[in-house]
Structure formats: structure tokens, C-alpha cells
Amino acid sequence: MSRDVVILGAGMHPWGKWGRNFVEYGVHAARAALKDAGVSWQDIQFVAGGATMRNGYPGYVAGATFSQALGWQGNEIMTCYAACATGSQALAAARAKIQAGQCEVALVVGADTTPKGFLAPQKGERPDDPDWVRFRLGITNPTYFSLYAQRRKDVYGATDEDFAAIKVKNAEHGFSNEFARYQKKFTIEEVLASPMVASPLRLFEICATSDGGAAVVVASKEYADRLGSQRQVKIGGISTVSPKFASADVEMPDIATDSAAASNAYSFRASIAQKAYEEAGVGPEDVSLAEVYDLSSAMELDWYEYIGLCAQGDAEKLLRDGDTRIGGRVPVNASGGLACFGEAVPAQALAQVCELTMQLRGEAGDRQVSDAKVGVTGNQGLFGHGSSVVLLR
Amino acid sequence: MFSIVIEAFQYSSDFLSTFGGCMSSTEASSGANPALPVIEGWFTMDEADTHLIGSRCKRCGTYFFPGNVTFCRNPCCESDEFDAVPLSREGTIWSYTDAQYKPPEPYVAADPFEPYAIAAVELAKERMIILGQLAKGITVDDVTTGMQVELQLQTLFTKDGQDYVSWVWQPKI
């Protein structure tokens, strides 16, 4: 039985399009998390940094970059990159270090500065890189989001109004979130009047790219108890599993799925949360609230099913019944989700953890989910990366 | 309790692929500058009988597209021997969308930009889904999930007087 690891503190830099150096956002979030935890920077023994690919060498070695910016003090460092799962992988590394008894208290940080418009591949002629090839063929990120949205319409009877209702719900949730980039309410009509980007998804239903930063301080339960912390949130489980062959998901940046000619077909996204639930000893029926990756409004519906909140094909009913709004049975994206944040890749999975931490402590203010005891995150990105974190009060 | 959802590929037809002598490249257009493939080696340039070129593992029979694999990715198979094979040139639409805004580079867009539609197409024999643009003039209103489509060649863009062609999916009448 490995020892319990808890979140002692959470901190964020507001999401936006600030155009400043990512290090600034990361350090701001780190200092906020340290203050929230009541831990001195000089007591941190290990820093796990989420890398950013768009900010040169300092981004590739983010763990060291943040440590230097906070002031070299001899802590151990590591950096990881796992696309949208980056923050969870960094968190998993810190948790493992603590579980192994190699340190007692660690800092996990992710931050990004993003360019405007579509996310684009690196420059140059690179036909061996599937990410280059798909852009050459005219297949962008919204293509993948919309293929799933259209499939929901054709197979499960989702409507354009359902997709718009997700945006409206998340905009209401994030309206009073001081860390959200967009704090603006929308009506269904306004969403449906926004320009079509990739049928059936419209501009207000596709997440933007943002600048932002998030950090958590994690520690052994013993360390937290010695500190006298009354606001601990337990990390129940973390999943960073890979897909299983043959993966049937139409997945960025691939042009084709695996062939299931000689294998069973699996859905990767539906498998991600399972390991986190098993580690935590809970199931979807225990979940009080969830933070999931609404890269598009329609994708949030897929996530209801991937994390087991309902059976496949029942997500529209869950939405229409109001179950996933604050005040409903199992609120989803109480933070406002990517709809209100936009995506800051290495920070986003940590931002989900920060929101759950605030919620499970009962410190989420206007958007507080009542009696929140079990929270789950779900996210997924390029090249077989996905993660899920279960937090327990 | 929670269980992994296995979304089985749908078999929509008893389609038999045509394995004609399609591995040799021919030119897709005549003239001073014969058309070039947008990506070398991914598809045949035979307009009358276009195929995507995949690889098939000699031991386990798994298909790969694109076919540039060195080791079999089936975790139950240690093979490193493959045959280059033409993939089924007909399939079933799994889903579809379009692009109403100009993609970033390396996409080479016409000026003014012309929106285009895209389909994800299931190949029954290979049990895989392959993406591609729908043929010019086809919009999302012209297709549905489950519709039969076949492969065609089409000029994707012209750069410095040189035509570059790609595969596209064309609904079967």
C-alpha cells in the first residue's frame, strides 16, 4: 500500500491573450499555489514542469526554467511533455516521487504562451510527420472535433441546439470565474448565429488557444498533517494510459485509424478514466463533479460517456435534463471549461485539478458545487496522450 | 461499474476490393508539367483506378496507412516484413465535415479560399477509417453517414505552374 499523496495548494494565472512570456504565468501560479499551501519555496524538494513547444528552449526545460525564475535552491527538477495530458503526467511524476519516499513536498507547474489563430505544425517540408501531412491535406484540429460532432448528430440524434446549449451552460458556469478568459454569458441564438467553422461546429463552439498558467503543491499526507493543513485534497488516482491496439478513435494528427483486421477495436478515450477510478476505488456513480476537455462543445457530450456518467448515446439526455449544470446531479465543467478558458496546453490538465481542488474544499464561490466529495478530470490530445485524475475530499 | 466501450467497426457491405495492376504510377494529367502527388508514395497516380497504398504485415495481416512502417504495431506481432498493398478504393462514410476557413500552411489555398468538405471513410476489409477531402463541388449537404464513396484523384493545388494531386472521396451514384 503506497502512502497517500495530497494537494496542499493550488494556484493559477488568469487565462487570456496577454502576449507575455510563459515563465511569468508559471511563476505567478507557482507563488499562488505555495501561498495557498502555506509552504515556502525553499522547502520544495522537487519541481515537475510541463513543457511548452512554442516558446523555445526555456519551454523544453520548463522544470528548470521555473526553478531558476523562483530562485535556484537545489531542488530536483524534471520536465515532461504529453500534449494535453502534460499537466497530469507532471503531477503523476511528483506523486510517484512522494510515494517512493524520495521527497515529501513537490511543486507542479504548467504555463503557455500561444500564437493567434489555428494551431499550426512546425515549419518546413516534413512529409514523414503526420502532423505536417494532415495540414498539407487541409485537415485542421476542428476537422477532428467536427467529425465526432456530426457522428453524434447522425447516430445519437444530437442537435445544433444541444451543441450550443453546452456553450451556454459553460459560459454561465465560468461567468464569475476570475481565472477564465471569457466571462460572458451567451444565448443559444447567439451561439447559433456565430460563423460556421467546420460543419456542424460554429466559432463559439470551438475552443480558442490561450495564455495561462496553473500550479499545485503536492505532499505526503504525513507532511501535510505535520504542517497542520486542514484543506487537504487527496489524489485518489491518476491515469496516463496509452491507447490499446487497434485504436478505433479518429485521432489527431492521424489520417487513418489503426486497422482492426487482426485485432479487436478499442476506444482509447473511453479507457482513460477507468484506471483513475480503479486506483481511487470509486466509480462514475460516486462522482460529484467533472472537468472534461470541451475542445468543442460537442466533445463534452462524448466525455459524459467516456468517463461513465451515462451510457453511450445517452449524453444528450443528460444535458437536456440539466444534470450537468451546477445544481444538477453531476455538474460538468463548473470552471467554465475550455469554452471559457481556451486551451493553454501544458497548463490545462493542471487547471482542471485546480478547479476540483477549490470545489472539494468548498472554496469555489459563486460556482460552488454543493457537497462535492469526488471529482474527476478527463482530457486527451495528440499522439496517444490522455489523462484522468480523481480527487477525493 | 465502468467498462471500456468497444466501438466495433461497422460492416456496411460485402465489398470486394479490386486488386488490379495498380502499383505502377502513371501521370494524372498530360502536358508539359505532369501532375505530381501531394505526398509521394501514398497513392497510385492512375486516374482510372486510384488506390491508396498501404502496408500489410506478412505475419498478422494488419494493414497500415500510410504504409511507411518498419515494425508491426500490433502488440501481439513481432514481424518486420510487409507487403505494399493497394487499399480498398470504396468505403462507407463514418462521418463528415467541411472547412469554412482557410487552414494554415503547409496547406496551399486558392485565392480566394474555396471551402471544401472532408469525410472519414471506413474500409470494410481493412477495418480502418481513412480521412480525405470530398470531391470538389460536394458539400456536407450532399452526404450522410453510411453513404458509399469511392476514391478519385483531384488537383489539390497548383504552385508555380505545377499541379499537385491528392485522393478525394466521391459519393457513388
ipTM of the complex: 0.91
pLDDT of residue A127: 86
What pLDDT, on a 0 to 100 scale, did the predictor assign at position A69?
A: 98
- Measure the CA–CA gap between A83 and A275, rounded to whole angstroms: 19
Quick check: A246 and A35 in contact, CB under 8 A? no
Q: How far is CA A218 from CA A48, A91, A107, A358, A389, in A?
A: 11, 8, 6, 14, 14
Instruction: Flag if B97 and A305 touch (Cβ within 8 Å).
Output: no
In chain B, where are the structural domains located?
88-173
Q: How distant is the Cα of A277 from the closest Cα of chain B, in angstroms? A: 8
User: Could you give phi then psi for residue B47, rounded to 5 degrees?
Assistant: -60, -35
Over residues A229-253, mean pLDDT: 94
Burial class of residue A115 (count of CB atoms within 10 Å of its CB; 0-12, 13-18, 19+): exposed
User: What is the CATH number assigned to the segment(s) A5-117+209-227?
Assistant: 3.40.47.10
The C-alpha atoms of residue A250 and residue B148 are separated, in whole angstroms, by 19
Given a cut of 80, is residue B16 above it in pLDDT? no
Identify the residue among B95, B123, B134 best suited for mutation to test binding to A, counting A beta carbons within 10 A and taking the highest.
B95
Residue with cell 460492416: B11
* Nearest by CB: A248 against B9, B74, B118: B9
Does residue B66 have a cis peptide bond before it, meaning omega lies within 30 degrees of 0? yes
Find which of A155, A257, A268, A314 to mutate to test the B interface (most B CBs within 10 Å of its CB): A257
pLDDT bin (cut points 50, 70, 90) of residue A118 is: low
Q: Do B128 and A259 touch (CB under 8 A)?
A: yes
Q: Rounded to 10 degrees, what is the CA torsion of A346, A352, A353, A358?
A: 140
Better-scored residue on pLDDT, B48 or A283: A283
Banded model confidence at residue A120, pLDDT cuts 50, 70, 90: confident
Q: What is the pLDDT of residues B88-128, one digit of tens each?
A: 999 999 999 999 999 998 999 988 999 999 999 999 999 99
Q: How confident is the model at residue B15 (pLDDT cuts 50, 70, 90)?
A: very low
Tell me the per-residue pLDDT of A81-100, one tens digit each, with 9 for 90 and over: 999 999 999 999 999 999 99
**Per-residue pLDDT averaged across A68-85, rounded?**
97
Burial of A221 (0-12, 13-18, 19+ CB in 10 A): middle
CB pairs under 8 A between A and B: 181
The amino acid that residue A22 corresponds to is F
User: Could you tell me if B148 and B36 are in contact, meaning their C-beta atoms sit under 8 angstroms apart?
Assistant: no
Instruction: Determine whether the interchain pair B62/A261 forms a contact, defined as Cβ–Cβ distance below 8 Å.
Output: yes
Pairing of strands A46-50, A105-112: parallel
Residues in A touching B62 (Cβ below 8 Å): 246, 258-259, 261-263
B97 vs A127, A134, A147: nearest CB: A147
What is the average pLDDT value for chain A, to the nearest integer?
A: 96
Quickly list H helices, B28-96: none
**What confidence category does residue B21 fall into, taking pLDDT thresholds of 50, 70 and 90?**
very low
> Which chain B residues touch A277 with a CB distance below 8 Å?
2
Q: pLDDT category, A117, cuts 50, 70, 90? A: low
Mapping DSSP to helix (H, G, I), strand (E, B) and coil, where does residue A285 land?
A: helix
* Predicted local distance difference test score (pLDDT) of residue B27: 38
**Model confidence over A179-231: pLDDT tens digits?**
999 999 999 999 999 999 999 999 999 999 999 999 999 999 999 999 999 99
C-alpha A393/C-alpha A286 separation (Å) is: 12
**Residue A200, pLDDT score:** 98
For residue A198, give the nearest of B5, B94, B98 by CB distance.
Answer: B98
Handedness of CA A83, A85, A89, A91 (dihedral sign): positive
Lowest average pLDDT, out of A9-13, A122-126, A308-312, A324-328, goes to: A122-126
Q: Which residue has the cell 507547474?
A: A109
Q: State the Cα–Cα distance between residues A361 and A185, nearest whole angstrom.
A: 26
Q: In what order do the strands lie in the sheet with A289-292?
A: A76-80, A46-50, A105-112, A211-220, A5-16, A233-239, A385-392, A374-381, A289-292
Task: Give the gap in angstroms from C-alpha A305 to the nearest C-alpha of chain B.
Answer: 9
Q: What angle do CA A386, A366, A339 make, to 5 degrees?
A: 35
Which cell goes with A90?
A: 507532471
CB contact burial A288-325 (16+ within 10 A = b; e otherwise) = bbbbbbbbbbbbbbbbbbbbbbbeeeebbebbeeebbb
Distance CA A361, CA B8 (A): 41
A76: left (phi over 0), alpha (psi -120 to 50) or beta: beta
Interchain proximity B128–A261, CB inside 8 Å: yes
